[in-house]
Structure 1
């Protein structure tokens, strides 16, 4: 697509759950993001966004509809998050804690880095006993 001199070329990208939607338009210089979206086919392709647009950005940086576009800008439309990332991390951490506590017969959690069989625990106990006896353990 070739634009005439006073026009700029703008690209749109939206990753719908089932497909990727892309469009390019030639618009007058000085066009804002909101004006470009109004001239695009986005609302016709995705009627669920008729009353509101999703979050928008240009090349991965969040922006508002008032931002003035420059030649070859890519307007990205972001879907709403299905899961809260923080809640997902908490759930995974809880699952890891459960797996670690289940790895020991007495139910005490294993230390990170120690093998499930307890290898390495012997060296820790030896170092702790040596400290109690007044000897300085040699750490390798």
Structure 2
């Protein structure tokens, strides 16, 4: 089986991390995240609570990767989107 090339990305407000990996075919999302080294670089990332996706579509850790997939590690929301809109407009929820 041929190897596949995938990218694992994690975006912070002030910077973006991107790691390109060469993995065996039939590798999973979890394998790519573990191999990327991002969990070690960012200790606040908890594999048990992470939300992840491939090209903006939420996936599970055991999903099989395809050649040139981009695995995205999502950050938790700091505020509910509805609350953020209300705050920006200066209105209170009634």
TM-score by length of 1: 0.59
Q: Which has the larger share of helix?
A: 1
Which 5+ residue runs of structure 1 have no aligned equivalent? 97-140
Matched, 1:14 2:16: no
Count the aligned residue pairs: 92
In the alignment, which residue of structure 2 is the partner of 1:110? none
Which 5+ residue runs of structure 2 have no aligned equivalent? none
Runs ≥4 in structure 1, deviation > 6 angstroms? none
Pick from 72, 77, 81 the counterpart of residue 81 of structure 1: 77
Higher relative contact order, structure no. (Cα contacts within 8 Å, ≥ 6 residues apart):
2
TM-score by length of 2: 0.85
Q: Which has the larger share of strand?
A: 2
**Aligned alpha-carbon RMSD (Å):** 2.0
Contact conserved, 2:8 with 2:32, CA < 8 A, in 1? no
